[in-house]
Structure 1
Amino acid sequence: MIGSLESLVIDCPDTRELARFYSKLLGLEIVMYDDDWAEIVAADGGRPIIAFQQVEAYNPPQWPSQEVPQQMHLDVKVDDLDVGEAAVLELGATATGAGTATFRVYRDPAGHPFCLVNPAD
């Protein structure tokens, strides 16, 4: 195992609206939200979380058509970003070069984005 699931991140036009919807649908608690990002978790605060990421000029998925595919990605928590990076690259991931001191963005072998994260505790 390289890491553990930290969050599922869903693109959306309105983080507050979607967080409220899924909070009520799943019985999860909203732990933070603003215009760009929102998070919901189980009442015990455990992981993984569901996060909502605001996207400008959002185009909703056109399921089952793939003209506009589903829009979400996984955040995988690792103890060390460098060690995690080496491991996912060996598995066939591609580094995008995007990220910060606490996360890095990759593409899986089919091109789906995912992040390795090492959030500040």
Structure 2
Amino acid sequence: MIGRLFSLVIDCPDTSALAGFYEELLGLSRVEDGPDYVVSENAAGTERLTFQRVGDFQPPRWRDPARPARAHLDVQVDDLDVAEPLVLALGATLLEGSDKPIGYRVYADPVGHPFCLVTPESVVLGG
């Protein structure tokens, strides 16, 4: 091993707003709040997201090769039908083409980054 993951950095136009979305979604707490970045992590300090302000941010467009997503998060939940209205209430959008497949659904966060809600079964099956 050369190193270990320290943080996933997510570009966005408003660091505080996007950090708040993921703090609610993942149960993270804000540990740093700078003018151009916010850092949020879980209570154990083992999961960490950093939100970096980018002034000319252009969100990815789902299934558009001209503006592809470079990475996305898979968020494991017990029940998609219970979790979906909660993430939608936080500001997520169900992406077209997701068509509610069994085991996972694809959403966009409030600034357009895709993420998936996945069930334990889909993780086991490689979904």
TM-score normalised over the length of structure 2:
0.52
Query: Quick one: distance in 1 between partners of 2:56 and 2:70?
Result: 13
> Any gaps of 5 or more consecutive residues in structure 1?
73-121
Q: Displaced runs of 4+ in structure 1, greater than 3 A? A: none
Please tell me the residue identity of whatever aligns with 1:34: G
Q: Which of the pair has the greater relative contact order for Cα pairs under 8 Å at 6+ separation?
A: 1
Instruction: Map residues 3-82 of structure 1 onto 2, 5 A cutoff.
Output: 3-44=3-44, 46-71=45-70
| SS, match of residue 23 in structure 2 | helix
The code of the aligned residue for 1:61 comes to: P
The one-letter code of the counterpart of 2:67 is V
Answer 1 or 2: which has greater strand percent. 1
TM-score (norm 1): 0.54
Structure 2 SS opposite 1:19: helix
- Secondary structure at the residue paired with 1:22? helix
Deviation at 1:25, TM superposition (A): 0.8
- Work out the number of aligned pairs and report it: 72
Counterpart Cα distance in 1 of 2:42 and 2:65:
32
3-state SS of the aligned residue for 1:50? Answer: strand
Cα displacement (A) at 1:26: 0.7
Task: Check 1:56–1:71 CA distance in 2 against 1; reply closer, same or farther (3 A cut).
Answer: farther
How many Å separate the matches in 2 of 1:39 and 1:25?
Answer: 15
Describe the superposition over 1:77-121 as per-residue Cα deviations: whole angstroms up to 9, x where unpaired: xxxxxxxxxxxxxxxxxxxxxxxxxxxxxxxxxxxxxxxxxxxxx
* SS of equivalent to 2:63: coil
Q: Aligned pair in 2 of structure 1 residues 19, 7: CA closer, same or farther (>3 Å)?
A: same
